[in-house]
Every structure is written in structure tokens, then in C-alpha cells.
Amino acid sequence: MNEQLLKICELLKKCKCKNVATFDLTENDEAKFFVIASNVNPDDNKKVANELCENFELIGEKDGFHKGEWIILRFANIYVHLFVVSARIKYNLDRLYKNKEIDLAKYLKKQKSK
């Protein structure tokens, strides 16, 4: 799963998403990660969502795809939240999970050394 998490984040950066943040929520019963990223407009969110779905196995639906302001995708135990900037500010998931944010490179390096 660590490799998939890295590849998802790399794809988001390749698609020029802004402020990509990764959160480790594995303390819960089910191991999972949240990845939050922003785009300028709903059409960009939809393009990125489609790109992710072409490259990774989507579990369930593309929630919020119709409007495109906040799209939620699930890939195994990785949840990707694509926001337009104004919606990201409004819902402020970054603040909610602030203490769970990780530096992905350091996290993966630590996992490899285990």
C-alpha cells in the first residue's frame, strides 16, 4: 500500500494539484490514509479524478464528481479528496486532521527500515 500511496501523490503533483497533503489515520481499526489536494476549478478536479481512476483501482463511486467542487475517491485504504480552493478552505479537513499529517518521504523511509 505504501507504494500505491506514493504513486497517487506523485500523480497528483504531476497533474499540478496544489497543496498536496497526506494524513496517516492508521490508528483506527482500519488502516487508511487521506490525501487532500486542490485545483483551481471543478473541471480540473474532474480531469485529475479521471486520471487517478485510469491508473488505480477505484473502490466504489466517484463521490461529488457531478459538481466537481469536492470529489472523494477510494483506492484500497487510501482516500483522495480533490477540492477547489474555496471548498477546501470552507470544509478545512486539513485543520481537522492536522495532528495526523505526515511528510510522505520520511514516512516511507521509516516504513522501509522496519
User: pLDDT tens track of the chain, all 114 residues?
Assistant: 578 999 999 999 999 999 999 999 888 656 699 999 999 999 999 999 999 999 999 999 999 999 999 999 999 899 999 999 999 999 999 999 999 999 887 877 777 766
Judge residue 68's burial from the number of C-beta atoms within 10 Å of its C-beta, 0-12 exposed, 13-18 middle, 19 or more buried.
buried
Q: Check residue 37 and give its pLDDT.
A: 98
Q: Check residue 29 and give its pLDDT.
A: 59
Let me know if residue 113 belongs to a domain: no
Q: CB-based contacts of 21: which residues, under 8 Å, 6+ apart?
A: 35, 36, 37, 94, 101
Task: Record the cell numbers describing residue 89, joined without a space.
Answer: 478552505
Let me know if residue 50 belongs to a domain: yes
Let me know if residue 7 belongs to a domain: yes
What distance lies between CA 80 and its chain's CA centroid?
A: 3
- CATH value at residue 24: 3.30.460.10
Q: Which domain range does residue 92 map to?
A: 2-104
* Total structural domains within the chain: 1
pTM of the shown model: 0.91
Let me know if residue 74 belongs to a domain: yes
Let me know if residue 114 belongs to a domain: no
Let me know if residue 92 belongs to a domain: yes
Separation of alpha carbons 101 and 15, rounded Å: 21
